Protein backbone atom coordinates (compact mmCIF):
# COMPACT_ATOMS: atom_id res chain seq x y z
CA UNK A 1 0.00 0.00 0.00
CA UNK A 2 1.20 3.52 -0.79
CA UNK A 3 2.19 5.61 2.23
CA UNK A 4 -0.43 8.28 2.91
CA UNK A 5 0.92 11.81 3.34
CA UNK A 6 -1.32 14.47 4.77
CA UNK A 7 -0.61 18.04 3.66
CA UNK A 8 -2.00 20.89 5.77
CA UNK A 9 -1.37 24.32 4.28
CA UNK A 10 -3.67 27.22 3.59
CA UNK A 11 -1.84 28.25 0.40
CA UNK A 12 -3.42 26.53 -2.54
CA UNK A 13 -0.27 26.85 -4.67
CA UNK A 14 1.75 24.96 -2.07
CA UNK A 15 -0.89 22.27 -1.71
CA UNK A 16 -0.99 21.73 -5.47
CA UNK A 17 2.78 21.69 -5.72
CA UNK A 18 3.18 19.18 -2.89
CA UNK A 19 0.37 17.03 -4.16
CA UNK A 20 1.81 16.81 -7.66
CA UNK A 21 5.42 16.20 -6.66
CA UNK A 22 4.70 13.72 -3.90
CA UNK A 23 2.26 11.80 -6.05
CA UNK A 24 4.99 11.46 -8.65
CA UNK A 25 7.15 9.90 -5.95
CA UNK A 26 4.52 7.23 -5.42
CA UNK A 27 2.86 8.59 -2.30
CA UNK A 28 -0.83 8.96 -1.76
CA UNK A 29 -1.75 12.54 -0.76
CA UNK A 30 -4.62 14.12 1.14
CA UNK A 31 -4.66 17.91 1.46
CA UNK A 32 -6.34 20.30 3.87
CA UNK A 33 -6.44 24.08 4.04
CA UNK A 34 -7.22 24.59 7.72
CA UNK A 35 -6.79 23.07 11.17
CA UNK A 36 -10.39 22.13 11.89
CA UNK A 37 -10.88 20.02 8.76
CA UNK A 38 -7.53 18.35 9.33
CA UNK A 39 -8.37 17.35 12.88
CA UNK A 40 -11.77 16.14 11.80
CA UNK A 41 -10.19 13.87 9.20
CA UNK A 42 -7.56 12.72 11.69
CA UNK A 43 -10.25 11.57 14.08
CA UNK A 44 -11.22 9.02 11.44
CA UNK A 45 -8.05 8.21 9.53
CA UNK A 46 -4.39 7.66 10.19
CA UNK A 47 -1.81 9.06 7.74
CA UNK A 48 1.78 7.85 7.58
CA UNK A 49 3.30 11.31 7.64
CA UNK A 50 2.07 14.89 7.96
CA UNK A 51 3.39 18.06 6.32
CA UNK A 52 2.11 20.91 8.43
CA UNK A 53 2.24 24.64 7.80
CA UNK A 54 2.94 26.75 10.88
CA UNK A 55 0.39 29.42 10.00
CA UNK A 56 -3.18 28.35 9.39
CA UNK A 57 -6.23 30.56 9.14
CA UNK A 58 -8.18 29.06 12.04
CA UNK A 59 -5.48 27.93 14.46
CA UNK A 60 -1.74 27.76 14.70
CA UNK A 61 0.24 24.85 13.32
CA UNK A 62 1.53 24.31 16.85
CA UNK A 63 -2.02 23.68 18.09
CA UNK A 64 -2.64 21.18 15.32
CA UNK A 65 0.68 19.51 16.13
CA UNK A 66 -0.27 19.20 19.78
CA UNK A 67 -3.66 17.65 19.05
CA UNK A 68 -2.16 15.35 16.47
CA UNK A 69 0.53 14.10 18.81
CA UNK A 70 -2.10 13.39 21.44
CA UNK A 71 -4.00 11.24 18.96
CA UNK A 72 -1.04 9.49 17.35
CA UNK A 73 2.31 10.05 18.98
CA UNK A 74 4.11 7.89 16.43
CA UNK A 75 3.27 9.84 13.25
CA UNK A 76 6.14 11.99 11.96
CA UNK A 77 5.14 15.60 11.45
CA UNK A 78 7.28 17.77 9.20
CA UNK A 79 6.71 21.49 9.72
CA UNK A 80 6.66 23.90 6.79
CA UNK A 81 8.13 27.21 7.98
CA UNK A 82 9.09 30.59 6.65
CA UNK A 83 12.62 31.76 7.46
CA UNK A 84 11.22 34.35 9.83
CA UNK A 85 9.56 31.67 11.94
CA UNK A 86 12.62 29.89 13.30
CA UNK A 87 11.50 30.44 16.90
CA UNK A 88 8.25 28.68 16.33
CA UNK A 89 10.04 25.96 14.41
CA UNK A 90 12.20 25.33 17.46
CA UNK A 91 9.08 25.20 19.60
CA UNK A 92 7.62 22.64 17.18
CA UNK A 93 10.72 20.48 17.44
CA UNK A 94 10.33 20.51 21.22
CA UNK A 95 6.78 19.25 20.72
CA UNK A 96 8.21 16.27 18.91
CA UNK A 97 7.86 17.43 15.33
CA UNK A 98 10.06 15.19 13.21
CA UNK A 99 11.80 17.93 11.23
CA UNK A 100 11.06 21.11 9.32
CA UNK A 101 11.50 22.45 5.81
CA UNK A 102 11.76 26.11 4.91
CA UNK A 103 9.68 27.99 2.37
CA UNK A 104 10.30 28.26 -0.52
CA UNK A 105 10.44 24.50 -0.42
CA UNK A 106 13.55 22.85 -1.79
CA UNK A 107 12.40 19.67 -3.42
CA UNK A 108 15.51 17.60 -2.68
CA UNK A 109 15.46 18.39 0.98
CA UNK A 110 11.73 17.78 1.23
CA UNK A 111 11.94 14.35 -0.37
CA UNK A 112 14.83 13.35 1.86
CA UNK A 113 13.03 14.40 5.01
CA UNK A 114 9.84 12.63 3.93
CA UNK A 115 11.67 9.41 3.08
CA UNK A 116 13.55 9.49 6.36
CA UNK A 117 10.39 10.20 8.33
CA UNK A 118 8.56 7.29 6.74
CA UNK A 119 11.51 5.00 7.18
CA UNK A 120 12.32 5.66 10.78
CA UNK A 121 8.76 5.41 11.90
CA UNK A 122 7.56 2.39 9.99
CA UNK A 123 8.82 0.19 12.80
CA UNK A 124 7.29 2.39 15.46
CA UNK A 125 4.03 2.35 13.53
CA UNK A 126 3.91 -1.39 13.38
CA UNK A 127 4.41 -1.78 17.07
CA UNK A 128 1.86 0.96 17.73
CA UNK A 129 -0.71 -0.80 15.59
CA UNK A 130 -0.02 -4.14 17.17
CA UNK A 131 -0.26 -2.86 20.70
CA UNK A 132 -3.46 -0.96 19.96
CA UNK A 133 -5.00 -3.81 18.08
CA UNK A 134 -4.12 -6.38 20.69
CA UNK A 135 -5.27 -4.02 23.42
CA UNK A 136 -8.76 -3.87 22.04
CA UNK A 137 -9.03 -7.59 21.42
CA UNK A 138 -7.21 -8.62 24.54
CA UNK A 139 -9.18 -11.39 26.18
CA UNK A 140 -11.74 -11.40 23.38
CA UNK A 141 -11.78 -14.74 21.64
CA UNK A 142 -15.08 -14.86 19.85
CA UNK A 143 -14.44 -11.96 17.47
CA UNK A 144 -12.09 -12.14 14.51
CA UNK A 145 -10.43 -8.72 14.09
CA UNK A 146 -10.84 -7.35 10.59
CA UNK A 147 -7.83 -6.38 8.52
CA UNK A 148 -9.72 -3.80 6.46
CA UNK A 149 -8.89 -0.15 6.81
CA UNK A 150 -12.52 0.78 7.23
CA UNK A 151 -12.94 -1.65 10.11
CA UNK A 152 -9.63 -0.54 11.63
CA UNK A 153 -11.08 2.96 11.74
CA UNK A 154 -14.12 1.59 13.52
CA UNK A 155 -11.89 -0.14 16.08
CA UNK A 156 -9.97 3.04 16.64
CA UNK A 157 -13.26 4.85 17.35
CA UNK A 158 -14.28 2.04 19.69
CA UNK A 159 -11.01 2.57 21.51
CA UNK A 160 -11.61 6.29 21.77
CA UNK A 161 -14.98 5.86 23.44
CA UNK A 162 -13.80 3.13 25.78
CA UNK A 163 -13.73 5.50 28.74
CA UNK A 164 -17.02 5.09 30.57
CA UNK A 165 -18.71 8.07 28.92
CA UNK A 166 -22.32 7.76 27.92
CA UNK A 167 -21.67 8.89 24.32
CA UNK A 168 -24.42 7.49 22.14
CA UNK A 169 -23.40 5.30 19.23
CA UNK A 170 -25.29 4.51 16.04
CA UNK A 171 -24.22 1.40 14.14
CA UNK A 172 -25.40 1.12 10.56
CA UNK A 173 -24.85 -1.70 8.12
CA UNK A 174 -26.48 -4.49 6.15
CA UNK A 175 -27.88 -7.51 7.86
CA UNK A 176 -25.26 -9.96 9.12
CA UNK A 177 -22.23 -7.63 8.93
CA UNK A 178 -21.62 -7.85 12.66
CA UNK A 179 -23.46 -4.89 14.19
CA UNK A 180 -24.33 -6.84 17.34
CA UNK A 181 -20.73 -7.92 17.56
CA UNK A 182 -19.50 -4.31 17.42
CA UNK A 183 -22.08 -3.16 19.98
CA UNK A 184 -20.90 -5.90 22.29
CA UNK A 185 -17.28 -5.06 21.65
CA UNK A 186 -17.91 -1.43 22.59
CA UNK A 187 -19.36 -2.57 25.89
CA UNK A 188 -16.79 -5.21 26.68
CA UNK A 189 -13.83 -2.96 25.97
CA UNK A 190 -15.19 0.00 27.92
CA UNK A 191 -15.11 1.00 31.53
CA UNK A 192 -18.73 -0.19 31.64
CA UNK A 193 -17.87 -3.85 31.10
CA UNK A 194 -18.54 -4.83 34.73
CA UNK A 195 -22.09 -3.56 34.40
CA UNK A 196 -24.97 -4.99 32.40
CA UNK A 197 -25.17 -5.12 28.62
CA UNK A 198 -28.84 -5.39 27.80
CA UNK A 199 -30.45 -5.48 24.43
CA UNK A 200 -33.88 -5.15 22.96
CA UNK A 201 -35.04 -5.67 19.42
CA UNK A 202 -37.33 -2.77 18.59
CA UNK A 203 -38.87 -4.64 15.66
CA UNK A 204 -39.92 -7.61 17.75
CA UNK A 205 -42.26 -5.84 20.17
CA UNK A 206 -45.48 -3.90 19.62
CA UNK A 207 -45.35 -0.24 20.59
CA UNK A 208 -46.85 -0.42 24.08
CA UNK A 209 -44.84 -3.45 25.08
CA UNK A 210 -41.60 -1.85 23.89
CA UNK A 211 -42.43 1.19 25.91
CA UNK A 212 -42.92 -0.73 29.13
CA UNK A 213 -39.84 -2.85 28.38
CA UNK A 214 -37.72 0.28 28.09
CA UNK A 215 -39.19 2.45 30.79
CA UNK A 216 -40.84 -0.05 33.11
CA UNK A 217 -44.27 0.53 34.60
CA UNK A 218 -45.99 1.08 37.90
CA UNK A 219 -48.48 -1.38 39.32
CA UNK A 220 -51.87 -0.75 37.73
CA UNK A 221 -50.51 1.44 34.92
CA UNK A 222 -52.55 -0.62 32.50
CA UNK A 223 -54.69 -3.76 32.64
CA UNK A 224 -51.90 -6.30 32.66
CA UNK A 225 -49.64 -4.32 34.97
CA UNK A 226 -50.25 -6.36 38.08
CA UNK A 227 -46.84 -5.56 39.52
CA UNK A 228 -44.35 -2.76 39.31
CA UNK A 229 -41.69 -3.52 36.71
CA UNK A 230 -38.27 -2.03 36.16
CA UNK A 231 -37.45 -1.05 32.61
CA UNK A 232 -34.30 -1.94 30.70
CA UNK A 233 -33.02 1.62 31.10
CA UNK A 234 -33.04 1.18 34.85
CA UNK A 235 -31.69 -2.36 34.74
CA UNK A 236 -28.82 -1.30 32.49
CA UNK A 237 -27.74 1.44 34.92
CA UNK A 238 -23.96 2.06 34.64
CA UNK A 239 -23.87 -0.28 31.68
CA UNK A 240 -25.01 -0.30 28.08
CA UNK A 241 -28.42 -0.63 26.46
CA UNK A 242 -28.41 -1.89 22.89
CA UNK A 243 -31.44 -0.91 20.83
CA UNK A 244 -31.42 -3.18 17.81
CA UNK A 245 -33.41 -2.34 14.67
CA UNK A 246 -34.03 1.19 15.92
CA UNK A 247 -35.49 2.07 12.51
CA UNK A 248 -38.61 0.10 13.46
CA UNK A 249 -39.24 2.01 16.67
CA UNK A 250 -42.68 3.68 16.78
CA UNK A 251 -42.66 7.48 16.64
CA UNK A 252 -44.27 7.79 20.08
CA UNK A 253 -41.50 5.74 21.67
CA UNK A 254 -38.92 7.77 19.72
CA UNK A 255 -40.15 10.94 21.42
CA UNK A 256 -39.68 9.40 24.84
CA UNK A 257 -36.28 8.01 23.98
CA UNK A 258 -35.10 11.42 22.80
CA UNK A 259 -36.10 12.86 26.15
CA UNK A 260 -34.11 10.18 27.96
CA UNK A 261 -31.05 10.90 25.84
CA UNK A 262 -31.28 14.58 26.55
CA UNK A 263 -31.93 14.41 30.27
CA UNK A 264 -30.72 10.96 31.22
CA UNK A 265 -33.85 10.59 33.26
CA UNK A 266 -37.37 9.30 32.65
CA UNK A 267 -40.53 8.13 34.35
CA UNK A 268 -41.98 4.63 34.44
CA UNK A 269 -45.23 4.15 32.56
CA UNK A 270 -48.03 5.29 34.89
CA UNK A 271 -45.52 6.69 37.37
CA UNK A 272 -44.73 10.18 38.64
CA UNK A 273 -41.20 9.63 39.89
CA UNK A 274 -38.35 10.85 37.70
CA UNK A 275 -35.59 8.23 37.61
CA UNK A 276 -32.04 9.23 36.72
CA UNK A 277 -29.79 6.76 34.99
CA UNK A 278 -26.32 6.55 33.54
CA UNK A 279 -26.58 4.35 30.46
CA UNK A 280 -24.75 4.28 27.18
CA UNK A 281 -27.24 3.79 24.38
CA UNK A 282 -26.05 1.96 21.30
CA UNK A 283 -28.56 1.77 18.46
CA UNK A 284 -28.26 -0.35 15.34
CA UNK A 285 -30.14 -0.52 12.08
CA UNK A 286 -29.87 -2.18 8.70
CA UNK A 287 -32.15 0.45 7.19
CA UNK A 288 -31.09 3.80 5.90
CA UNK A 289 -32.22 6.08 8.71
CA UNK A 290 -31.75 9.18 6.61
CA UNK A 291 -34.36 7.89 4.16
CA UNK A 292 -36.69 7.08 7.04
CA UNK A 293 -36.21 10.63 8.31
CA UNK A 294 -37.10 11.98 4.88
CA UNK A 295 -40.20 9.79 4.79
CA UNK A 296 -41.25 11.02 8.22
CA UNK A 297 -40.91 7.57 9.78
CA UNK A 298 -37.99 8.53 11.96
CA UNK A 299 -37.53 11.69 13.99
CA UNK A 300 -34.78 13.91 12.69
CA UNK A 301 -33.84 15.22 16.14
CA UNK A 302 -33.49 11.69 17.47
CA UNK A 303 -31.45 10.70 14.43
CA UNK A 304 -28.92 13.44 15.10
CA UNK A 305 -28.93 12.74 18.81
CA UNK A 306 -28.17 9.05 18.20
CA UNK A 307 -25.38 9.51 15.70
CA UNK A 308 -22.99 11.34 17.99
CA UNK A 309 -20.69 8.52 17.03
CA UNK A 310 -21.73 6.97 13.75
CA UNK A 311 -20.25 3.67 12.66
CA UNK A 312 -20.91 2.20 9.22
CA UNK A 313 -20.00 -1.46 9.21
CA UNK A 314 -19.08 -2.35 5.62
CA UNK A 315 -20.50 -5.45 3.90
CA UNK A 316 -18.27 -8.51 3.69
CA UNK A 317 -17.94 -8.19 -0.10
CA UNK A 318 -16.12 -4.90 0.32
CA UNK A 319 -13.57 -6.40 2.75
CA UNK A 320 -12.73 -9.65 1.07
CA UNK A 321 -9.50 -9.94 3.05
CA UNK A 322 -11.63 -10.92 6.07
CA UNK A 323 -13.25 -13.90 4.38
CA UNK A 324 -10.47 -16.42 4.94
CA UNK A 325 -9.63 -15.51 8.55
CA UNK A 326 -13.34 -15.71 9.41
CA UNK A 327 -13.64 -19.02 7.56
CA UNK A 328 -10.72 -20.47 9.50
CA UNK A 329 -12.29 -19.26 12.72
CA UNK A 330 -15.69 -20.82 11.98
CA UNK A 331 -14.06 -23.99 10.68
CA UNK A 332 -12.26 -24.48 13.96
CA UNK A 333 -15.31 -23.53 16.00
CA UNK A 334 -17.69 -25.97 14.32
CA UNK A 335 -15.08 -28.66 13.94
CA UNK A 336 -14.64 -28.62 17.69
CA UNK A 337 -18.30 -28.43 18.58
CA UNK A 338 -19.31 -31.19 16.13
CA UNK A 339 -16.27 -33.34 16.90
CA UNK A 340 -15.07 -33.21 13.30
CA UNK A 341 -11.48 -32.94 12.22
CA UNK A 342 -11.46 -30.08 9.71
CA UNK A 343 -8.08 -28.39 9.67
CA UNK A 344 -7.87 -26.30 6.55
CA UNK A 345 -9.33 -25.46 3.13
CA UNK A 346 -7.97 -26.25 -0.29
CA UNK A 347 -7.11 -23.60 -2.87
CA UNK A 348 -10.31 -24.00 -4.84
CA UNK A 349 -12.46 -23.57 -1.73
CA UNK A 350 -10.59 -20.36 -1.00
CA UNK A 351 -11.25 -19.13 -4.52
CA UNK A 352 -14.97 -19.87 -4.31
CA UNK A 353 -15.31 -18.18 -0.92
CA UNK A 354 -13.42 -15.09 -2.04
CA UNK A 355 -15.31 -14.77 -5.26
CA UNK A 356 -18.81 -15.13 -3.84
CA UNK A 357 -20.73 -11.94 -3.13
CA UNK A 358 -22.03 -12.77 0.39
CA UNK A 359 -25.37 -10.95 0.36
CA UNK A 360 -25.98 -12.32 3.89
CA UNK A 361 -22.51 -11.19 4.98
CA UNK A 362 -20.74 -12.82 7.93
CA UNK A 363 -23.88 -14.58 9.10
CA UNK A 364 -24.15 -16.32 5.73
CA UNK A 365 -20.48 -17.30 5.78
CA UNK A 366 -20.90 -18.71 9.25
CA UNK A 367 -23.92 -20.75 8.18
CA UNK A 368 -22.18 -22.07 5.07
CA UNK A 369 -19.22 -23.28 7.13
CA UNK A 370 -21.47 -24.77 9.78
CA UNK A 371 -23.44 -26.70 7.17
CA UNK A 372 -20.34 -27.90 5.37
CA UNK A 373 -18.67 -29.12 8.55
CA UNK A 374 -21.85 -30.95 9.45
CA UNK A 375 -22.37 -32.63 6.10
CA UNK A 376 -18.83 -33.35 4.90
CA UNK A 377 -15.77 -35.04 6.27
CA UNK A 378 -12.42 -33.45 7.01
CA UNK A 379 -9.63 -32.77 7.34
CA UNK A 380 -9.79 -30.49 4.25
CA UNK A 381 -12.71 -28.33 3.23
CA UNK A 382 -12.71 -28.75 -0.53
CA UNK A 383 -13.97 -26.45 -3.23
CA UNK A 384 -16.32 -29.16 -4.45
CA UNK A 385 -18.27 -28.93 -1.18
CA UNK A 386 -19.14 -25.36 -2.11
CA UNK A 387 -20.65 -26.01 -5.54
CA UNK A 388 -23.82 -24.14 -4.68
CA UNK A 389 -21.94 -20.93 -3.94
CA UNK A 390 -19.90 -21.34 -7.07
CA UNK A 391 -22.98 -21.64 -9.23
CA UNK A 392 -24.51 -18.58 -7.60
CA UNK A 393 -21.34 -16.59 -8.15
CA UNK A 394 -21.31 -17.60 -11.74
CA UNK A 395 -24.96 -16.70 -12.18
CA UNK A 396 -24.21 -13.30 -10.66
CA UNK A 397 -21.53 -12.69 -13.20
CA UNK A 398 -23.83 -13.41 -16.09
CA UNK A 399 -25.01 -10.34 -17.91
CA UNK A 400 -28.47 -9.34 -16.74
CA UNK A 401 -30.09 -9.50 -20.19
CA UNK A 402 -28.87 -13.01 -20.70
CA UNK A 403 -30.18 -14.09 -17.30
CA UNK A 404 -33.59 -12.71 -18.20
CA UNK A 405 -33.66 -14.59 -21.48
CA UNK A 406 -32.71 -17.83 -19.79
CA UNK A 407 -35.32 -17.52 -17.08
CA UNK A 408 -38.30 -16.03 -18.98
CA UNK A 409 -39.94 -17.15 -22.22
CA UNK A 410 -38.25 -15.48 -25.18
CA UNK A 411 -39.94 -12.16 -25.98
CA UNK A 412 -42.32 -11.89 -28.96
CA UNK A 413 -40.12 -9.36 -30.70
CA UNK A 414 -37.33 -11.93 -30.63
CA UNK A 415 -33.77 -11.62 -29.37
CA UNK A 416 -30.41 -10.68 -30.78
CA UNK A 417 -28.60 -13.99 -30.42
CA UNK A 418 -25.20 -12.77 -31.49
CA UNK A 419 -25.09 -9.87 -29.13
CA UNK A 420 -26.37 -11.97 -26.22
CA UNK A 421 -23.86 -14.73 -26.80
CA UNK A 422 -21.29 -12.00 -27.27
CA UNK A 423 -22.04 -10.72 -23.78
CA UNK A 424 -21.60 -14.17 -22.36
CA UNK A 425 -18.37 -14.60 -24.29
CA UNK A 426 -17.12 -11.25 -23.07
CA UNK A 427 -17.79 -12.07 -19.44
CA UNK A 428 -16.02 -15.45 -19.73
CA UNK A 429 -13.01 -13.96 -21.47
CA UNK A 430 -12.86 -11.25 -18.83
CA UNK A 431 -12.98 -13.87 -16.10
CA UNK A 432 -10.20 -15.93 -17.63
CA UNK A 433 -8.14 -12.82 -18.23
CA UNK A 434 -8.49 -11.78 -14.59
CA UNK A 435 -7.78 -15.27 -13.31
CA UNK A 436 -4.62 -15.31 -15.44
CA UNK A 437 -3.73 -11.84 -14.13
CA UNK A 438 -3.46 -10.56 -17.65
CA UNK A 439 -1.20 -13.34 -18.87
CA UNK A 440 -2.55 -14.05 -22.36
CA UNK A 441 -1.14 -17.54 -22.87
CA UNK A 442 -2.57 -18.67 -19.57
CA UNK A 443 -5.95 -17.02 -20.28
CA UNK A 444 -6.01 -18.69 -23.69
CA UNK A 445 -5.30 -22.06 -22.10
CA UNK A 446 -8.09 -21.56 -19.55
CA UNK A 447 -10.52 -20.83 -22.36
CA UNK A 448 -9.30 -23.55 -24.68
CA UNK A 449 -8.51 -20.98 -27.37
CA UNK A 450 -5.32 -20.32 -29.21
CA UNK A 451 -3.62 -17.01 -28.51
CA UNK A 452 -4.65 -15.41 -31.78
CA UNK A 453 -8.30 -16.12 -31.15
CA UNK A 454 -7.97 -14.79 -27.61
CA UNK A 455 -6.21 -11.64 -28.80
CA UNK A 456 -8.95 -11.07 -31.33
CA UNK A 457 -11.60 -11.24 -28.63
CA UNK A 458 -9.65 -9.09 -26.19
CA UNK A 459 -9.52 -6.44 -28.86
CA UNK A 460 -13.10 -6.93 -29.95
CA UNK A 461 -14.47 -6.48 -26.43
CA UNK A 462 -11.85 -4.00 -25.24
CA UNK A 463 -10.95 -6.24 -22.31
CA UNK A 464 -8.56 -5.00 -19.66
CA UNK A 465 -7.51 -6.61 -16.41
CA UNK A 466 -10.02 -5.55 -13.75
Ligand X SMILES: Nc1ncnc2c1ncn2[C@@H]1O[C@H](COP(=O)(O)OP(=O)(O)OP(=O)(O)O)[C@@H](O)[C@H]1O
Number of residues lying near ligand X (CB under 6 A):
15
Please enumerate in sequence order all residues whose Cβ is within 8 A of that of 57, keeping only pairs 6 or more positions apart, or say none: 10, 33, 34
How far is 108 from 28, CA to CA, in rounded Å? 19
Q: Is 180 in the site for Mg ion (CB under 5 A)?
A: yes
The answer to whether 421 and 432 are in contact (CB under 8 A) is no
The answer to whether 357 and 393 are in contact (CB under 8 A) is yes
Shortest CB 364 distance to ligand X, Å:
9
The one segment of 49-57, 174-182, 360-368, 446-454 that binds Mg ion by CB under 5 A: 174-182
Shortest CB 179 distance to ligand X, Å:
3
How far is 158 from 191, CA to CA, in rounded Å? 12
Is the omega angle on the peptide bond into residue 191 within 30 degrees of 0, that is, cis? no
- CB atoms < 10 A from the CB of 409, how many? 6
Shortest CB 139 distance to ligand X, Å:
15
For residues 166 to 195, the per-residue mask of contacts with ligand X, x marking binding by CB under 6 A and - elsewhere, is: -------x-xxxxxxx--------------
Shortest CB 101 distance to ligand X, Å:
43
Q: Which is nearer to ligand X, 129 or 175 (CB)?
A: 175
How far is 134 from 311, CA to CA, in rounded Å? 21
Q: Which is nearer to ligand X, 165 or 286 (CB)?
A: 286
Q: Which is nearer to Mg ion, 125 or 179 (CB)?
A: 179
Q: Is 311 in the site for ligand X (CB under 6 A)?
A: no
Shortest CB 295 distance to ligand X, Å:
20
Q: Annotate 400-436 with DSSP letters as a single string.
A: HHHHHHHHSPPPTT---HHHHHHHHHHHHHHHHHHHT
Q: 132-171: which residues touch ligand X (CB under 6 A)?
A: 143-144
The answer to whether 72 and 64 are in contact (CB under 8 A) is no
- CB atoms < 10 A from the CB of 460, how many? 12
3-state DSSP call for residue 76? coil
Shortest CB 359 distance to ligand X, Å:
12
Q: Which is nearer to ligand X, 5 or 151 (CB)?
A: 151
The radius of gyration of the chain's CA atoms, rounded to the nearest angstrom, is 28
175 interacts with, out of ligand X, Mg ion, none, CB within 5 to 8 A per kind: ligand X
Shortest CB 284 distance to Mg ion, Å:
6
Q: Is 287 in the site for ligand X (CB under 6 A)?
A: no
Max intra-chain CA distance, the chain = 85
Chain contacts with Mg ion (rule: CB under 5 A): 179-180
Chain contacts with ligand X (rule: CB under 6 A): 143-144, 173, 175-181, 286, 329, 362-363, 366
Amino acid sequence: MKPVIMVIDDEQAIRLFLEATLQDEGYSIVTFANGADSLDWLSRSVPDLVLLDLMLPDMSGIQVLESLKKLYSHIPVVMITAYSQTDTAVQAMKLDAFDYVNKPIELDRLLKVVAKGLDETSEARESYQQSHQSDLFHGIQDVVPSGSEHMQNIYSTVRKISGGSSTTVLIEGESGVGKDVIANLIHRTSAREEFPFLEVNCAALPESLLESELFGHEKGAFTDAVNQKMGLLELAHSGTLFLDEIGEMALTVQVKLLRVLEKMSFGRVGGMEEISVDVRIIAATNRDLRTLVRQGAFREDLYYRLKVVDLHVPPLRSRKMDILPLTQFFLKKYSTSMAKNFKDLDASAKEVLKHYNWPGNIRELKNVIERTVLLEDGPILKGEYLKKLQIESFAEDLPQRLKECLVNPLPDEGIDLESLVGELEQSLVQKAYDAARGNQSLAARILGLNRDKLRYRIKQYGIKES
